[in-house]
A and B are shown apart, each in its own frame.
Chain A
Amino acid sequence: MAGEKKEHELIVSVSPHVKGEETVSRIMWSVSLALLPAFLMSLYYFGPGALFVTALCVITSVLAEYLYQKALEKKITVSDGSSFLTGLLLGMNLPPSLPFYIPIAGSFMAVVITKQLFGGLGYNIFNPALIGRAFLLITWPKAMTIWKEPTAIFVALDAKTTATPLGILKEEGIGKLLEAFGDKSNLYMQLLLGNRAGSVGETSVVALLLGAAFLLYRRYITWHIPLSFLGTVALIAWVFGGKGAFFTGDPVIHLLSGGLILGAFFMATDYVTCPSIRKGQIIFGIGCGAVTMLIRLKGGYPEGVMFAILIMNCFAPLIDRAVKTVPFGTVKK
């Protein structure tokens, strides 16, 4: 009879028997792709330094994961793209000119300590790339805060160093910042394009938003975290960011500078380390925004996005337990 010879080969498993096309690796590679425009912009402004730092991070991250899994005889999962993405994100969070051992140390910290030692993808509490960066900032505080002045590509390989816009804002005030950029509209424009000192990937707001739009369109991320994060930053900047009086701050400068856009769209939205219920994500985003502005306005660092996300990472599991979904058929009181 037709087919009977095949009976023993039939697969028997629990329903459903068809599956959607999303996979972890597809998501990871898509997010990496979404970072490409911003990375290209930083190559334009920072030249080979940006490539060097980022490539080192990516290579070390992937290699570290491979070697760790090999040494512990675990399944090799580097093809899922998550260690590549971690390396890419770490590289984009570092200054574009660093001695080679710093990106290597940061990548090891991110992939081996923060991710693998906690059980691998899905089990880590903190965003690996951000722990990598926090570790480097504390270990090499000087090297991690030397910011290369942006130049058009390959024009000046020994470009001068300078402070970031947020650094100037913190130390010398808005007047000095406007002086450095001419006027407000030019400041906004340069921040949008990325022509400013900063980490590799946190420069061009336009390029980052392009990548973010792709992720939103593909529904890999939703508006909940970025919007609540950015909205909180803007609100606090407006209310408390001015000199002397309330409601005189400039929210636009705060939104466009530092690592906020990169953090809000690409780091705070890391599935594993943020709440998974949408309502909880809004709480998470508001927390990220509040801590960011607390550090920016009152803290010792000019930028607070990294610590804000890491602190809120601790609360993610708690938020997920506190904010429950409402099951169908819940009787309304």
Chain B
Amino acid sequence: MSKLATFQRGVHPEEAKGLSAHCPIIKAALPKRVVIPLSQHTGAPANPVVAIGDSVKKYQVIGAQQGFVSAPVHASISGKVIAIADFPHPSGRVIPSVVIESDGLDEGLALKETPDYLNLSADEIKTLIKDAGIVGLGGAAFPTNVKLSPPKEKQIDYVILNGAECEPYLTADYRLMLEHPLEIINGLKLLMKAVGVTKGYIGIENNKPDAVEKMRDAASGEPDIEVITLEVKYPQGAEKMLIKAITGREIPSRGLPMDVGVVVQNVGTAFAAYEALRYGKPLIERAVTVTGRGIKEPKNFLVRIGTLMSELIEQCGGFTDEVVKVIMGGPMMGFAQGSLSVPVVKGTSGILILTEDDYISSDEYFACIRCGSCIDICPMGLNPSMLSILSEKGHYEETKEYNLFDCFECGSCAYVCPSNRPMVQFFRLAKSMVKP
């Protein structure tokens, strides 16, 4: 077998996917109540189009798209709107949200199916994806329709599906690829058609050989779709790294995938696109891994958007005793939560519960001893050691000379740092103090 596709440097944290990898995606219990933030995507928040007291049905638009870079939000259950107010969001901020109390009926609007969906035109695909409220499900939640509409002068050659799932612990994308390979392939075909390219790739890390095989089988009749096996290395699934690994193309500093002729979408996004185009189904649920040594029974769920974390934790048998951290997302880039009453949003790939044993580090950190470990592994080829020292000393302006804004906060440097320095925190601080 040929050498695995990969990028330079990077780290290899404990994968820990075994906790939930064998668990099929099951439907989470119908939530009693959902909190649906009007902003679950990059760009302008949606505009609420329901009022307190309104009865809503599943799939009904409750927040309308505002502007081009934005996305609508839909009711994920049927019931009554009981509040429209600021609520805690997994990002740590409070965001205007629509709260729906379930009527227990789960009644949905009639959906318009398209049996010959593969014959939809590029414009029809983009419009339907936009109206379904589909955003990048890998975590960044960028409106998919916008990504599919690059400016005319940008020549796009490939659509790449991201099945790397390089974050430790998470297995939602993996299960999706095992359980819905054909749907994902069809989703990819639609995405390719939307951007007008003939070549598609799916990148999957080598620790998921069965997913690679399933996807290869599903793509066997598609000469234009190639499944690429990637080396198991973090952050293999970062857009820039993935494009480099698969095409050898390097996105210029501060550039976008379209600058090198590529559009990247998550496998979950392709699946959602398929469902939206084939069945007319808006994005009201997604696959979420609930895992970690701090949860009694790790599981992969299909979760209604807006379901509170506490409900999912309960459905997994609750915490084991020594829980110290609850994270929305993966352990490398996820957000630690101070409350269990935050909702699953479109960008939520997992809920990770860490125990004392996983969380070996304390908050105590030491001076940089300049061992160079972080320089050796920074996937962006930066000098994290220098950046952290400059930020620590308040020399924020100087951080720009060291390409601070190329950093996408993957956390690899903090992972290897023997002095336990809060690298990402230093970088965020510096980024907030200077203009790019």
Interface residues, chain A, with chain B CB atoms under 8 Å away? 1-4, 6-7, 9-24, 26-27, 77, 80, 119-123, 271-272, 274, 276-278, 320, 324-331
Contacts and interface: CB of A to CB of B under 8 A. Distances in A.
A11 B324 contact: yes
Interface stretch (B124-132, B177-185, B271-279, B370-378): B370-378
A330 B414 contact: no
B250 interface: yes
B253 A7 contact: no
Given A18-B13, A119-B367, A329-B255, A276 B360 contact: no
A329 B383 contact: no
A217 B91 CA distance: 41
Given A16-B424, A19-B420, 15 more contacts: A7-B338, A10-B325, A16-B412, A17-B358, A18-B331, A19-B360, A23-B418, A122-B370, A271-B371, A276-B371, A276-B385, A325-B382, A328-B253, A329-B380, A330-B381
B253 A24 contact: no
Interface in B157-202: 168
B428 A14 contact: yes
B233 interface: no
B336 A16 contact: no
B423 to A, nearest CB: 9
Given A17-B331, A328-B379, A331-B253, A3 B323 contact: yes
A15 B310 CA distance: 21
Interface in B324-345: 324-327, 331-340
Interface of B: 8, 11, 13-14, 92, 168, 240, 244, 250-255, 310, 313-314, 317-319, 323-327, 331-340, 352, 354, 358-361, 363, 366-373, 375-376, 378-383, 385-386, 402-403, 406, 409, 411-412, 414-420, 422, 424-425, 428
Given A3-B340, A324-B383, A20 B422 contact: no
Contacts of A331: 252-253
The SS class assigned to the A binding surface is loop
Most buried by A among B336, B371, B425: B371
Most buried by A among B92, B363, B417: B417
Contacts of A27: 371, 418
Nearest to B327: A17
B367 A16 contact: no
Nearest to A16: B411
B403 A16 contact: no
Given A10-B325, A15-B409, A18-B415, A276 B336 contact: no
Contact of B332 (A4, A16, A272): A16
A16 B418 CA distance: 14
A327 B380 contact: yes
Contact of A17 (B251, B336, B338, B386): B336
B436 to A, nearest CB: 14
A13 B333 CA distance: 11
User: What 4 A-B pairs come out closest when comparing CB atoms?
Assistant: A2-B318, A122-B367, A16-B411, A276-B372
B360 to A, nearest CB: 6
A18 B371 CA distance: 20
A7 B341 CA distance: 10
A2 B360 CA distance: 24
A6 B335 CA distance: 18
Contacts of A324: 383, 402
Contacts of B373: 22
A32 B80 CA distance: 68
Contacts of B418: 22-24, 26-27
Contacts of B403: 327
A3 B310 contact: yes
Most buried by B among A3, A9, A18, A326: A18
13 contacts: A3-B323, A3-B340, A10-B323, A13-B363, A15-B331, A15-B332, A16-B333, A16-B412, A16-B424, A19-B417, A22-B418, A24-B418, A330-B252
